[in-house]
């Protein structure tokens, strides 16, 4: 069965809404479970949507964006699994495999956006400098809108206009390009940390930066909590030291005052 223009448009709208949600990780309607069901409803085959939703959700349950890595895109996987099962009549579990190229395509686009949106931050810095809240709101919403519209366009093209050319596009994409996006994603936080250090790092705090770095390099643990505990230990130590020092200084100053008064007296 073919996809009609109306269905193509409805799917694009679903993708835009789910795209917003995927970007923000708000309601989790971007998960294949929900996306497949909605796609099934749009195509008039809810049962197919639900069945595909269960299968695709399980296939994608292990692929999470936790820790900053970007998995194959669940929205495109969800929409295209149902669309392909519906149009080609293949069963949903086969369709998951057929939908993967579309899922990869969107993953690459998102990776590209993650890198390129870094450039918007300078504009945001400028608005922060001027305390221009309206300008700042605009520059912050812009990426979200670009992403959501991209979802609409990609899903409309993939589902309605040009399934085959889209697949060819993915296959034609050289491996080094997508790998390059991933590498950029691994290195770009260094710029963010450089900026953070510019604000917070002073020479006297350098030892703590080294301790934190060492701890995280050698304690293999999926969470920075141990490092934070070490930092807290250092902070508490410093806290009591400084308090004692302040008290001592106060006492010295008091006795000094008495002496001073005496000297003044002379």
Residues numbered 150-209 forming contacts with another protein, rule: CB under 8 A: 176-177, 179-181, 183-202, 205, 208-209
**Residues across the chain:** 266
Pick the stretch among 5-13, 33-41, 161-169, 252-260 that binds another protein (CB under 8 A): 33-41
List 4, 90, 91, 141, residue binding another protein (CB under 8 A): 141
Residue 49 or 163 with smaller CB distance to another protein: 49
Half-sphere exposure (CA, 13 Å, Cβ side) for 73?
Answer: 27
Q: List for the chain the helix, strand, coil content (%; round to 5).
A: 85, 0, 15
Pick the stretch among 20-28, 99-107, 149-157, 165-173 that binds another protein (CB under 8 A): 20-28
222 SS3 class: coil
What minimum distance in Å lies between the beta carbon of 217 and another protein? 5
Contact status: 23 vs another protein (CB under 8 A): yes
What minimum distance in Å lies between the beta carbon of 150 and another protein? 14
Q: Residues near 57 by Cβ (< 8 Å), separated by ≥ 6?
A: 31, 32, 33, 36
Do the beta carbons of residue 94 and residue 102 sit within 8 Å?
A: no
List 5, 58, 253, 258, residue binding another protein (CB under 8 A): 58
Contact status: 266 vs another protein (CB under 8 A): no
Q: Tell me the chain's radius of gyration from C-alpha atoms.
A: 28
Pick the stretch among 99-107, 159-167, 218-226, 251-259 that binds another protein (CB under 8 A): 218-226
Strand ranges (DSSP E) for 52-176?
A: none
Residues 71-110 contacting another protein, CB under 8 A: none
Residue 221 or 255 with smaller CB distance to another protein: 221
Contact status: 224 vs another protein (CB under 8 A): yes
The count of other CB atoms within 10 Å of the CB of residue 246 is: 10
The count of other CB atoms within 10 Å of the CB of residue 68 is: 9
Pick the stretch among 32-40, 82-90, 149-157, 165-173 that binds another protein (CB under 8 A): 32-40
- DSSP one-letter code for 235: H
- DSSP one-letter code for 73: P
Pick the stretch among 10-18, 125-133, 157-165, 258-266 that binds another protein (CB under 8 A): 125-133
Count the residues of the shown chain that bind another protein, applying the rule CB under 8 A. 108
Which residue, 81, 83, 68, is CA-closest to 10? Answer: 83
């Amino acid at each position: 069965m073919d996809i009609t223009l109306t269905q193509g448009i409805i799917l694009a709208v679903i993708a835009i809404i789910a795209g917003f949600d995927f970007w923000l990780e708000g309601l989790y309607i971007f998960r294949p479970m929900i996306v497949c069901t909605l796609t099934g409803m749009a195509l008039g085959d809810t049962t197919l949507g639900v069945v595909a939703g269960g299968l695709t959700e399980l296939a994608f349950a292990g692929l999470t964006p936790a820790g900053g890595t970007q998995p194959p895109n669940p929205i495109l996987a969800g929409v295209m699994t149902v669309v392909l099962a519906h149009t080609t009549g293949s069963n949903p579990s086969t369709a998951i495999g057929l939908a993967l190229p579309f899922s990869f395509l969107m993953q690459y686009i998102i990776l590209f956006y993650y890198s390129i949106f870094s450039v918007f931050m300078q504009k945001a810095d400028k608005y922060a400098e001027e305390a221009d809240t309206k300008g700042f709101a605009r520059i912050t919403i812009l990426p979200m809108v670009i992403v959501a519209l991209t979802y609409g366009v990609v899903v409309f093209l993939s589902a309605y206009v040009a399934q085959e050319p889209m697949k060819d596009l993915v296959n034609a994409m050289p491996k080094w390009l997508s790998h390059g996006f991933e590498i950029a994603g691994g290195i770009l936080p260094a710029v963010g940390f450089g900026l953070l250090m510019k604000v917070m790092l002073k020479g006297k705090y350098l030892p703590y930066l080294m301790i934190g770095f060492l701890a995280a390099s050698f304690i293999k643990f999926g969470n920075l909590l141990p490092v934070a505990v070490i930092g807290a230990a250092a902070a508490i130590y410093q806290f009591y030291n400084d308090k004692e020092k302040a008290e001592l200084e106060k006492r010295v100053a008091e006795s000094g005052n008495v002496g001073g008064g005496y000297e003044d007296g002379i």
